[in-house]
Structure 1
Amino acid sequence: MKKIIVAFALCFLLVSCGSSFQSFYNKHKADIGTTSFQVPNFMKAVLSNISPGVKHAIGNISDFKYIKFQNVSALKRQSLISEMNAITNTGFTDVFRKNDLANTRIISVGEIGVVVTDVIIFNSTETETTAYYLQGNFDPEKIKSFADEDTFNAFSTDLMQSYQTNINPSFNPEN
């Protein structure tokens, strides 16, 4: 009986460790055609300087990861969608999910009580696949607003510009 319990616990551990956003990120961050970044603890100040629009939309962030895939084959795209489905099926609740041939959009949250603490925003089109992982305290209604494609695209653009501005200091003394 003990062997069965140990085997079951080991299988559970392996499955749960294999289906996290961090493992997805680590697996794909070096793929050709991929842009990715995560904000380490010592750079949390960068997040406090994001634009007011982004800060209002997402609130208080303690962890942030981003990965973007460009020019992926249909097979690779389907593989990424399947991996994201596995991640969001373990401890997350879908706020919004759209699955069709041209676009797959997933907004999935992790909650403690009525507080949204983890958010995965995944968008995959025939030309580009992006995924965000945010951890902190978030307004559920604002997270749900990312289901709108224009809101999601504006958020992505604003967040990327804010992040790139804060991590690319000018080495020109006249600036």
Structure 2
Amino acid sequence: MKRFFIILISSILLCACGSSFQGFYNNHKADIGATSFQVPNFMKAVLSNVSHDVKHAIGNIHDFKYIKLTNVTETKRQLLIAEMNAVTKNGYLDVFRKNELDKTRIISVKELGNVVTDAIIFNSTKAGTYAYYLQGNFDPEKIKSFANENTFNAFSSDLLQNYNTNLNPSFNPNN
């Protein structure tokens, strides 16, 4: 019964607040176990250093957001999936959606003619929930390639490794 009320209240809040990827990102970036980043304009060079395969898959990026949530309960995972479903109902077209008991994968896009302008790539398993938001000009077939789990995992690893390598903040006043 308690779980029902939590889901009901969360659903009401989702509908009342309006749903966007930025809202999803803002709501969860401070959660315990969350890893997240946005790539501001002055750091676009970070994205230019990714592997050729990743560049080929994603194309020209104007905005990029990433969030990973780990150590979430099953109830929280279901709430994250429900929240992402609300986001993708806001003008997005599902390119790929697979809902299983232990895994949910969603690839949703906004199009302008034959070009994808916005893409959300969402993957939720018992091990963790991952979401990417890409804005730019992309080939729809390239975005659809993320439905393949190996492509998704390779993209994630390469991008995170590259981002972490190029983002090396120093708090040493002598540097």
TM class by shorter chain equals 0.7 to 0.9
Aligned-partner Cα distance in 1 for 2:17–2:114: 25
Moved more, 37-46 or 94-103: 37-46
How far has the Cα of 1:17 moved from its partner?
A: 6.5
> Which residue of structure 2 lines up, in the alignment, with residue 66 of structure 1?
66
> Which residue of structure 1 lines up, in the alignment, with residue 132 of structure 2?
132
Point out where structure 1 has 5 or more consecutive residues left out of the alignment. 1-13
TM-score, scaled relative to structure 1: 0.85
Counting only pairs closer than 5 Å after superposition, residues 1-175 of structure 1 correspond to structure 2 as: 18-168=18-168
Would the aligned equivalents of 1:16 and 1:90 in 2 still touch at CA under 8 Å? no
Would the aligned equivalents of 1:119 and 1:134 in 2 still touch at CA under 8 Å? yes
How far has the Cα of 1:121 moved from its partner?
A: 0.1
Would the aligned equivalents of 1:34 and 1:70 in 2 still touch at CA under 8 Å? yes
Point out where structure 2 has 5 or more consecutive residues left out of the alignment. 1-13
After TM superposition, what 4+ stretches of structure 1 lie above 6 angstroms from structure 2?
none
Aligned-partner Cα distance in 2 for 1:130–1:36: 10
* Sequence identity percentage: 75
Amino acid at match of 1:62: H
**Alignment RMSD (CA, Å):** 2.0
> Which residue of structure 1 lines up, in the alignment, with residue 8 of structure 2?
none
> Which residue of structure 2 lines up, in the alignment, with residue 9 of structure 1?
none
Aligned-partner Cα distance in 1 for 2:151–2:51: 15
Amino acid at match of 2:103: N
CA deviation string 1:96-118 (max 9, x = no partner):
00001110000000111211000
Aligned length: 159
CA deviation string 1:102-161 (max 9, x = no partner):
100000001112110000000000111000000001111111111011111111111111
How far has the Cα of 1:18 moved from its partner?
A: 2.1
Would the aligned equivalents of 1:46 and 1:166 in 2 still touch at CA under 8 Å? yes
Return the index of the structure with the highest Cα Rg.
1
Aligned-partner Cα distance in 2 for 1:165–1:137: 26
The secondary structure found in structure 2 opposite 1:157 is helix
Moved more, 66-75 or 17-26: 17-26
The secondary structure found in structure 2 opposite 1:164 is helix
